Amino acid sequence: MPLPAGDPADPPAAARPALPAHRQLEHPLPGRLLRLRQRFARRGFPLLRRVRRPRDATPHRHPCGDQGGRGGHPVVTSRPLRLVPVVGTDHFEFRTADGTRLDVEADGPVDAAVSVIFVHGYTLNLTSFRHQRATLDAAGGNVRRIYFDQRGFGRSARGPRGPRGPRGTASLDQLALDLAELVEAAPGAVVLVGHSMGGMVVQALAGLRPDLIGGRVRGTVLIASARSGREIDLHGLERVARLAGPCLLRSLQRVRPVVRLAGRLPFDLAAWVMHDRRALAVHRRAFAEMVEANPLDVLADYLAAMFAYDARAGVAELGRTETVVLSGRSDLVIPVAVSRRLARSIPGARLVLVERAGHMVTFEDAAAVDDAIAGVVAKVLAAR
């Protein structure tokens, strides 16, 4: 309960030391609640944490070709979790056909023989592939690596409001059409790496744009992904999450400053579900920070979109590419049985099961993910 404004334990305004910039809130709180937060912070209990969202200061640049520039923009170190910087990374924005700005980072030659496009999952951003940033260094410098925030996530814009569905507000079909534009802009043959919801977006692309599969797209790596939203395992709570989850998240977004009173506990609990019980604490913390940075109404939109998603009709199209399906054996959200069904649905796909890894296998066993990606890239390069 907030103390009265005249409480003797509360120092006068002039005597209160200002909080450092990195601990100030992004959104203002009511006066008494803010004073309560400051008093706890001075005693070593930071109840509320600032979510860093850097300003969109980068110019519009083409993501993959000469228009993308050769000047080598510096790595953006203000992003959370930028623990593995890549020297010479290009950082720019890409405009989709409907004018939505996507935040993109890329490294490698702009005239490469192969481009690898990394598609992140639900609640995440492009930094979720930070362990894969150096995966393809041994490919002879002939590979372009492209990382981007999907619309609504990270530093990418949400896009215009409108009906849901292709070219609508929040749907996996919409994300797939965004990915199609990146594929068409990328140099050389393309390998798609999709994690979780990102893998679903890759499958949706196969159904919406089969002309790209086997043509521009020559390889796919699907990590902890499913063919349909109905295959997501929430341990008996699927119906509750589908019906009440989006509404609850939108309601919480309207009182986000109050939600921050809970600290990072809800996000830490989610991190435990997404990782194997033997996962490193730094991996759980990295995941929790990414989830915490998201607007809750965006999570609501895409939660509903994932449950509505079904790519089973078109997933077989990926059989025209070199495909690997990878899953952690301890994944509680996309169980191994779901990954087996996905691999069987794609002619010629190879299934890789990773021990002691959960849904965030990209963190927990980066070497296994790196080997799968490098193997597909090597085969695509050899086939050129």
How far the first Cα of the chain sits from its last, in Å, is 67
pLDDT for 34 equals 53
Cβ burial of 97 (10 Å; 0-12, 13-18, 19+) is exposed
- Calpha distance 228→18 (Å, rounded): 50
Question: Domain containing 124 — which CATH number?
Answer: 3.40.50.1820
DSSP H helical segments within the chain, as ranges? 31-42, 172-185, 197-208, 238-254, 256-259, 265-274, 281-292, 296-308, 336-345, 361-364, 366-383
pLDDT for 139 equals 54
Distances (CA, A) of 373 to 107, 206, 207, 222, 317: 16, 19, 23, 10, 19
Cβ burial of 317 (10 Å; 0-12, 13-18, 19+) is buried
With CA atoms as reference, report the closest residue to 302 among 188, 153, 116, 166: 153
Residue 93 included in any domain: yes
- The alpha carbon torsion through 172, 175, 179, 180 (nearest 10 deg) reads 70
CA dihedral sign, ordered 28, 31, 37, 38: positive
- Calpha distance 75→60 (Å, rounded): 16
Residue 19 DSSP class:
P
Contact of 116 with 191, CB cutoff 8 Å = yes
Residue 310 included in any domain: yes
The crossing angle, in degrees rounded to 10, of helices 296-308 and 238-254 is 160
Residue 336 included in any domain: yes
Q: Which two tokens stand for residue 215?
A: 């043509």
pLDDT for 324 equals 98
pLDDT for 246 equals 84
Residue 213 included in any domain: yes
Residue 116 included in any domain: yes
Edge to edge, what strands does the sheet with 217-223 contain? 90-95, 101-107, 143-148, 114-119, 189-195, 217-223, 322-328, 350-354
Distances (CA, A) of 54 to 33, 46, 87, 330: 25, 22, 21, 35
pLDDT along the chain (384 residues), means of 10: 40 42 41 55 48 40 41 32 46 92 92 95 94 66 91 91 56 95 96 98 97 97 96 76 80 78 79 91 92 90 91 95 97 95 97 96 94 94 89
With CA atoms as reference, report the closest residue to 40 among 81, 14, 1: 1
Residue 247 included in any domain: no
Q: Which domain holds residue 349?
A: 66-232+303-383
- Calpha distance 90→108 (Å, rounded): 9
Residue 14 included in any domain: no
Residue tagged 């341990």 (tokens): 235
Degrees (nearest 5) of the Cα angle 362, 364, 366? 50
Distances (CA, A) of 172 to 201, 306, 370: 6, 7, 26
Contact of 102 with 151, CB cutoff 8 Å = yes
Name the pTM for this structure.
0.76
Q: Which two tokens stand for residue 101?
A: 């700005």
Contact of 370 with 132, CB cutoff 8 Å = yes
**Structural domains counted in the chain:** 1
Residue 308 included in any domain: yes
Q: Which two tokens stand for residue 15?
A: 């005597």
- For residue 344, the surrounding DSSP H or E stretch is helix 336-345
- For 231: left if phi > 0, alpha if psi spans -120 to 50, otherwise beta; the answer is alpha
